[in-house]
């Protein structure tokens, strides 16, 4: 089996009108398909570039948000989410646009956290205050009106075999 990318990522919103406004007006993602569901809900699709889409379900009786379980509670201080949850969505952007896009988010009243472009590297902390040769992704993090953590991510170098150097961890299970 060979996939050719992600068709769409489906998330759940609390208010479809607010979500449409944020994704079309703030992020500039065209709304290209809307569906009325037989149970009274809605399913809307936004073009996030590269032939990919981000979609939202809305139901009048959806369960409430669960920060710290199904979504990030407070990035970067409390970024863990539950097994099976979606932690965040990262959108590819050109590196030379990161500062401009960050500024536009702030001007639109979006809380961007932390208060800088994050330089991801292989240091013990995993981030650097400055861009250097070892930085592999630069990111801007923020949340949408539903509390969904989003990332604008710019890959800064090609990856090679040397980038896969950690053994996968195993869960510790209690003996029965």
Tens of pLDDT along the chain (176 residues) come to 887 788 899 999 999 999 999 999 999 999 999 999 999 999 999 999 999 999 999 999 999 899 989 888 888 888 888 888 889 999 999 999 999 999 999 999 999 988 889 999 998 889 988 999 999 999 999 999 999 999 999 999 999 999 998 888 888 776 65
- Has residue 166 been placed in a domain? no
Structural domain span for residue 130: 72-159
Peptide bond into 76 cis (omega under 30): yes
Residue 84 shares a structural domain with residue 140: yes
**With a threshold of 0.75, does the pTM exceed it?**
yes
What is the CATH classification number for the domain harbouring 121? 3.10.180.10
Cα distance between residue 118 and residue 120, in whole Å: 6
Residue 2 shares a structural domain with residue 29: yes
Residue 155 shares a structural domain with residue 125: yes
For strands 8-12 and 52-58, give the pairing. Answer: parallel
Number of structural domains (the chain) is 2
């Amino acid at each position: 089996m060979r996939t050719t990318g992600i068709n769409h990522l489906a998330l759940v919103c609390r208010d479809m009108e607010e979500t449409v406004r944020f994704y079309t007006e703030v992020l500039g993602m065209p709304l290209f398909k809307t569906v009325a569901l037989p149970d009274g809900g809605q399913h809307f699709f936004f073009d996030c570039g590269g032939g990919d889409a981000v979609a939202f379900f809305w139901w009048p009786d959806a369960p409430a948000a669960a920060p710290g379980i199904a979504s990030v509670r407070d990035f970067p201080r409390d970024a863990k989410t539950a097994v099976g949850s979606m932690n965040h969505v990262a959108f590819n952007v050109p590196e030379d646009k990161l500062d401009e896009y960050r500024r536009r988010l702030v001007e639109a009243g979006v809380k961007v956290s932390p208060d800088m472009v994050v330089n991801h590297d292989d240091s013990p902390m995993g981030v650097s205050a400055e861009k250097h040769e070892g930085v592999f992704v630069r990111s801007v993090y923020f949340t949408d009106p539903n509390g969904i953590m989003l990332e604008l991510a710019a890959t800064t170098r090609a990856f090679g075999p040397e980038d896969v150097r950690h053994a996968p961890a195993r869960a510790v299970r209690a003996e029965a």
